[in-house]
Chain A
Amino acid sequence: MPLSSFLNLAAGTIGRTVSTKFEANTSSKFLFWLGKKESSPNATDSSLEIGNIVAAYSDDRLDVTFGTIVEMRSYSDVDSFIADYLSHNFGDAAIQVPTDVSEVVVVTCNVMRNLSLRTKPIGRSQVFFPSALGIRYAYGIVDAAGKAIFAGAEIPIGVFQNGDGTVASVAVDEHFVIGPESAHVNVSGISGLASKTSAVQFLLKSLLKHTRKSVAVVMFNVKSRDLLYVDQPNERARTDKWSVEAYKELDVPLEPFINTRFFAPADPDNPKRTQSLRTMKTERFEWDLSLMKNDIPTLFDAEDWDDKTEGVWYRIREQLDAGSLLTYANMLAWIDRTIDQASTSNKTFIFGQHVATWNKVAARLRLFPRAYKGLIATAGKGADIPWRQLRGGDVYVIDIQMLADRAKKLVFGRAVRELSDLMESGDRQLDAVVVFVDELNKFAPSGNVRTPLKSRLVDITARGRSMGLVLVGAEQFASSVEKEIIENCTTYLFGRTEANELRAANYAALSDEVKTKLMMLPQGSLLAKFAKFPQPIFVRFPYPPCAPGDQFK
């Protein structure tokens, strides 16, 4: 393939690489000055900005080196501030000088790839905008022959629009998103402006369309009505010209998720209904004693769960395992009866534990059905989420927005455990289950505090890729999530981010200019960092394919 096919020659030359005595070009970085617009009348070099990709075509015409712009500096030949002050008649800001002082914009690029695949400093080169092929080559999506080089399917995550208007689809490697090579996605950005949920919805739709594997999706609706209408079309996307074209270009159907099921905790006041804010069909779940007996210890506060409490629970658990207690109400009644009998016979200890401890445990257990409203069926048969019915292409939405934080953790923790068990079982029908949860920092906060749920999530991100359990987490601040989880993700999407957050170690590899751009990133744009990309890339994605919950009427 001729090297010129990697360049947008029609846009003209935009500059020339340069090094000086003090600023060298290296194998990882090169500089170029921006030419006059007149030198390339068709070009839009003035539209160059941070994050654009350029292609340096060597003067010997043997190599093309691609770089992403990380810094742009404007230099003039004014020696000092005082010199410019003098140049305006000793500080007269109103005067017009006949000659503008010479100015040059010097652009710093991080090297992405070159066609020779050699690690070397760039030589004297003319700088062009790359063609769409050049952009895809630069990101390691295709090889020098233009052929896809991903091990798995290409999963489009959005489009990249360069300074010259060239648009290229940006895709990640399926094998690095859902395994087996690597897995997990993390999305961060401030609420309301970062479009995290929209980005994930588009990504998941794209994944379900392009994957060659049997993949199911489980989404947790943790706030408002965010994910409660993912089965409904998004009129905004259908009427937005750019979005329609983007869906077409990326070969993703502009239609809502299909094969969806919605689950929510039962409504204690009306067992046939759920507590969901969704006005359409939802399925209830609540756990009877047999379903949740293993989880009961986790319902206690950490400070309540001591050796004495564990001793009482041990006796209760014996009764459960013996099959003599069938419902939660049965269990409470048995405990009350046991305490009453001890009181009647003036016993201070019951099965070796003080009656006060029994009373404390009884009080807590009596409280749980209210604290975990709708989750605990005190009488009758419970209903769990039918995890084993999950098939490829299915989407489960679990609505937990109405629950208190502890209850949310219970549901999420149980789901993760069930899914782990499912994926580790020998008769699984799926290659991968993608679990999407917003506000990941609530389930796995950064810091030294270890909780069973956090440990489980760390474990999943560390080895989930091999079992096919994939975590797609979102949060406002990546720094507020457990470091090990973030580090185990292969794909990061950064939305608009605040300056304070950008000082965190998570963003240390980004240049100041890229950080500045992140602070002003418009809705619908994200900075994508993917294990196989040589540099992060700013991508734009269309409106989500399904109705945003807060806009659904």
Chain B
Amino acid sequence: MNGKAALRKAKEFITAQGGEVAPLSISEEELNPDVQDDMTMHVAPLESTDVVYDVPYNCHEDSDCSELRFFEDGRQRTIQIGYIRAEYGETLVLIPVHFFVVGAVVLEREDRRLKLWNRPRLDHGIFIARSLVPDQDALKEFEHAGLSIVDTESADGVPVDYYEMRRRALRRAKDRRLALEQDLITAWRSDARSADSFLVVDGTLMNIRDERSVERCVGVSKSFGNRYFEIPKHNRIMQMKECQRSWTFRFHDPDDDLRKGARERMSWYLRLRERCHGDPEFGLIRVEIAKKYIDNAPPIAQRFSRSLLSERFPTAYPTPRWDKHLYPIRGCEAYLSSVMPSISTITASMQG
């Protein structure tokens, strides 16, 4: 079912359930900006934390030295398109209905030009607390007709309120988007064309559970919500100059047990641009790669830092955070925006 048909079916679904088609003109992602990917981690330095390191990079000679050819990003759009009113005994329940569209794409650079690597992944449908839908037969009919209906209820089945249902819709969208991205990265990994290449992934690699997929990925995080080192050391990172990197370190989720195969990554910070008159995080990114490189951390960090410094041009100006945004990643975003129905299209489809 294509996007247009899914939108039409979603509208019919609400009507069939006696609900109200009442689209919001703003997505849940905009209403509740996603929590930072940067999580609380257990870290262990792999190099001395007393100094920062110069990356051997000459702006003139190395401006085209990047070895990176593949870039991945995903996007999600979740918008409340209406609600269904249901009465269970004396209790009136309002069930929000969300339309979602998630997508992931890998772009390949060849002869300095970006193009699609393979087909992008796109998924759309509706989120709803499934068991609360009054007319279950109609629900199955719509599902049978091809409408993807995703349950937002938790496994324990504990009833939640309207607001929690909305938050869950947002989380489900993120889950589906990450699943789509993982699926795409797995396919990329299996492609002979990419055998010797690394894939730049927008954001942390901690969301990728398949370690084989992570092995040839370079994660680039642009925003940070946590400090992993003591304040003086962290401030040393914040004071880094252009073309300097921090010490490398390994980290894992404190809730995961390494002995039981917890996800662990190697990482370092890198200053892409001079921060003259800028804030301490101007041009600062955190790079992640698979833990298999831990034994060879410094040269690996130098190698990818050089490539990423090369990738800072052309800039993605004037996008927000353009100082850390890689132009090919912006290309991924622009592509996905062009193939995913816009909020105004979704809203108009519901009203029309």
Contact = CB atoms under 8 A, between A and B. Distances in A.
B112 A79 contact: no
B62 to A, nearest CB: 9
B197 to A, nearest CB: 14
Interface in A95-114: 95-102
A92 B331 contact: no
Interface stretch (A81-89, A116-124, A280-288): A81-89
Contacts of B66: 98
Given A95-B60, A101-B327, A89 B317 contact: no
Given A77-B334, A89-B59, A92-B59, A98 B315 contact: no
A97 B314 contact: yes
Interface string B274-316: 0000000000000000000000000000000000001101110
B313 A95 contact: yes
A94 interface: yes
Nearest to A78: B314
Given A83-B315, A84-B314, A96 B114 contact: no
A97 B318 contact: no
Given A95-B60, A98-B109, A99-B328, A87 B317 contact: yes
B112 A98 contact: yes
Contact of B114 (A83, A87, A102): A102
Given A83-B315, A84-B314, A87-B313, A99 B109 contact: yes
Contacts of A36: 115
A294 interface: no
A382 to B, nearest CB: 79
Given A94-B60, A99-B327, A99-B328, A86 B112 contact: no
Given A77-B334, A87-B317, A99-B112, A92 B310 contact: no
B113 A97 contact: no
A98 B59 contact: no
**B interface, by DSSP: helix, strand, loop or mixed?**
loop
A88 B313 contact: yes
A80 B318 contact: yes
B194 interface: no
Contact of A97 (B64, B68, B331): B64
A96 B59 contact: no
Nearest to A79: B318
Contacts of B49: none
Contacts of A83: 315, 317-318
**A interface, by DSSP: helix, strand, loop or mixed?**
loop
A84 B66 CA distance: 19
Nearest to B313: A97
Interface in A196-253: none
B239 interface: no
Interface residues of B, number: 23
Contacts of A77: 334
Contacts of A99: 109, 112-114, 311, 314, 327-328, 331
A225 B334 CA distance: 65
Given A89-B313, A102-B114, A95 B327 contact: no
Interface residues of A, number: 22
Interface centre among B68, B315, B318 (most CB of A within 10 A): B315
A390 B257 CA distance: 109
Contact of B317 (A86, A92, A94): A86
Nearest to B68: A98
B63 interface: yes
Contacts of A87: 313-315, 317, 327
Contacts of B318: 79-80, 83
A494 B139 CA distance: 69
A96 B64 contact: yes
A95 B311 CA distance: 12
B113 A100 contact: yes
B314 A89 contact: no
A97 B114 CA distance: 13
Nearest to A101: B314
B315 A86 contact: yes
A22 to B, nearest CB: 14
Interface string B45-68: 000000000000001100111101
A77 to B, nearest CB: 7
Contacts of B112: 97-100
A507 to B, nearest CB: 39
A80 B328 CA distance: 18
A16 to B, nearest CB: 13
Interface string A320-360: 00000000000000000000000000000000000000000
B109 to A, nearest CB: 6
Contacts of A89: 59, 63, 313
Contacts of A101: 314, 327
Contacts of B64: 95-98
B59 A102 contact: no
24 contacts: A78-B314, A79-B317, A80-B318, A83-B315, A83-B317, A86-B315, A88-B314, A89-B59, A89-B313, A92-B59, A92-B60, A94-B60, A95-B64, A95-B313, A97-B64, A97-B313, A98-B63, A98-B64, A98-B109, A98-B112, A99-B109, A99-B114, A101-B314, A102-B114
Given A80-B318, A95-B313, 18 more contacts: A83-B317, A87-B314, A87-B327, A88-B314, A89-B59, A95-B59, A96-B63, A97-B64, A97-B112, A97-B327, A98-B68, A98-B109, A98-B311, A99-B112, A99-B311, A99-B328, A101-B327, A102-B334
